[in-house]
Amino acid sequence: MSKTVEQMRADGWPLRIIGNGGYKATLVECQPLFGGDYMGVYRYPGGDCCHDLAEIKWCFTVLEQ
């Protein structure tokens, strides 16, 4: 399973966040997991990082849904 950024956004993933250490990040791709689940890959100035949607809602600021 591989989803496009547009499909992920339709599933509720934000396009832009303020995350790790207060840095801005942009959703760039999908990281498939077991059982059909997946995480969002966000691009930070220092590199990419995977985040779970629940983690984003709980800990981060959404800049653009």
39 near 54, Cβ under 8 Å? Answer: no
Q: Sign of the C-alpha dihedral, residues 4, 9, 11, 14?
A: positive
Q: Across residues 20-42, what is the average pLDDT? A: 95
Q: Across residues 20-33, what is the average pLDDT? A: 96
Q: pTM value?
A: 0.93
Contacts by residues 28-32 (CB-CB < 8 Å, ≥ 24 positions apart): 29/5, 30/1, 30/2, 30/3, 30/4, 32/1, 32/2
Question: Domain extents for the chain?
Answer: 5-64
Q: Across residues 43-64, what is the average pLDDT? A: 96
Q: How confident is the model at residue 1 (pLDDT cuts 50, 70, 90)?
A: low
Q: Across residues 46-55, what is the average pLDDT? A: 96
